[in-house]
Amino acid sequence: MNTETLDIQTVSTTPFTDQRPGTSGLRKSVVDFQKPHYLENFIQAIFNSLDGCAGKTLVVGGDGRYYNRHAVQIILKMAAANGLAKIILGQGGILSTPAASCVIRKHKTDGGIILSASHNPGGPKGDFGVKFNISNGGPAPEKVTEAIFARSKELQSYKILSCPDIDIDTIGTVQVGAMQLQVIDSVDDYQQLVESVFDFDQIYALIKGGSFRMCFDAMHAVTGPYGHAIFEKRLGAPAGTVIAGKILEDFGGGHPDPNLTYAHDLVEILFGKDAPDFGAASDGDGDRNMILGRNFFVTPSDSIALMTANHKLIPAYSKGIAGVARSMPTSRAADRVAAKMGIKCYETPTGWKFFGNLMDAGLANLCGEESFGSGADHIREKDGVWSILFWLNILAARKESVADIVKKHWQEYGRNYYSRHDYEEVDSEKAHDLMEKLDANLASMKGKKFGSRTVDFADDFSYTDPVDQSVAKNQGIRIHFTDESRMVFRLSGTGTRGATIRLYLESLELDAAKQGLDAQVALKELIDIADEVSQLKALTGRDKPTVIT
């Protein structure tokens, strides 16, 4: 379609006051985004923050949730009206978040707009999100998101091309007004990248050998096409290895968060009779992952530690890595590996953007978060399929089971018993009251005894970026004990209703004879101490967490 002769409309509007992007962009309910001018205002604010659109190229794609296709049409028409030179679009408006980062970097674009609310539910009553990624492929840093917010508050109009809906399903290049639109295969660029990282021939031999079986749960989210193309077609896994592989606008009514609670179908398969050797799941936009062995769950904190310990088995990292980075709430299992291997381990606030500077500066190659995210410097986002391929490469090289690999790791480095308790949709006022009361008591905690444990230090985590010296304050309350156990309290910014209180619990066990306990049993005293310290149950009225991982 050549729409060069069609009109550009300038539509009058008024600012919305609630369009400040968080660490993962602007995330709201679909109903919010459906308000007249709401999406258009935010897209125009992004364009206005670019210091001129002429000559710029952006990548656009999303996770296929409800409202994705409609939003793509609006963005394309607005991009053409605002004078962008080119948009690279995933076929059908589909790009996983890792694939979008890959395409931005490969094609050296000026950034990208990613449409997703990540692991939040979809559908007409679900959530939607818009995130801007910069030219390195990573999430926009705070100075960029604040500039977008500033533009949103002063907006008086937006520009949009008046034309019929554009064909977004046919691969190829067309003109939209004066702008070039290139529709690309959603998987190809990403698959080429991961094939350059891992030993696909070795993984293929493992899968085609006949004795190894795997199951990948795409949760009716964006990684279905990636799973079919990479695991089944390229690596030889039989048809049916990918379950819930069709992208559905409401994710099949499920919650596309790959954890033991929401990925229950996969959990039942891996903990059932005649279970496969390996199981994995990814989330709504493909940046998170869960790893399972037969009757065995690998915590995300252990996963990044195992990746670090085994990185030389992977072709791209066989010559060694400069460092590893983890978010502050993530267990310190990776720290123990890094110390033994003589590499640096960085502790950052939660949010993948904090890893970007470290990777750009060559200080860290592997990164991980306890919230089921891990990735590396091949892109600037966490990456679910990459993480699964990393594990498959380890399994192919070591020829041991998932459980045996993890247990041997614990024997060498110690087991960091770890769990996260989420209290979701808590009344915001009550949640903030809890955090304020905790903060007020931090100064007096050092030396206090709780049960068998003595407080070593307590603080509100602050981070100074070693690259640009920027400071991020108030990143979560930490209470460390002298026996290397700890607890962390944070308010999450990823929900759209109320507040989510996250409680993180960690305890180190060096005695191999005591490393086989259920994590909730091993952490029972810490769980009780956390409630005593915070009065969490009393202040929130909740007698148990919504989700335990």
Strands (E) located in 167-303:
172-176, 179-184, 214-217, 242-243, 278-282, 289-293, 296-298
Instruction: Return the amino acid letter for 474.
Output: N
In Å, how far from its chain's centre is CA 113?
A: 16
Distances (CA, A) of 298 to 211, 261, 335, 372, 403: 22, 14, 17, 10, 8
How many Cβ atoms from other residues are within 10 Å of residue 490's Cβ?
23
Residue of 118, 186, 301, 374 marked active site: 118
**Eight-class DSSP state of 140:** P
Strands (E) located in 162-200:
172-176, 179-184
Distances (CA, A) of 273 to 60, 197, 410, 449: 43, 34, 27, 46
Nearest to 353 by CA among 1, 21, 9, 11: 21
d(CA 244, CA 224): 7
Phi then psi for 57, rounded to 5 degrees? -120, 130
The conformational region for residue 141 under phi > 0 = left, psi -120 to 50 = alpha, else beta, is beta
Whether 179 contacts 233, CB under 8 Å: no
d(CA 128, CA 125): 10
Q: Which residues contact 44 (CB under 8 A, 6 or more apart)?
A: 78, 82, 151, 155, 157, 158, 159
Q: How far apart are the two ends of the chain, measured CA to CA in Å? A: 49
**Tokens representing 438?**
């905790």
118 included as an active-site residue: yes
d(CA 149, CA 123): 26
Longest Cα–Cα distance in the chain: 76
d(CA 237, CA 206): 10
Strands (E) located in 372-495:
373-376, 415-426, 449-450, 453-460, 463-464, 471-472, 477-481, 486-492
**Tokens representing 182?**
């290139």
Instruction: Return the amino acid letter for 159.
Output: K
Nearest to 176 by CA among 72, 332, 260: 72
Active site residues: 118
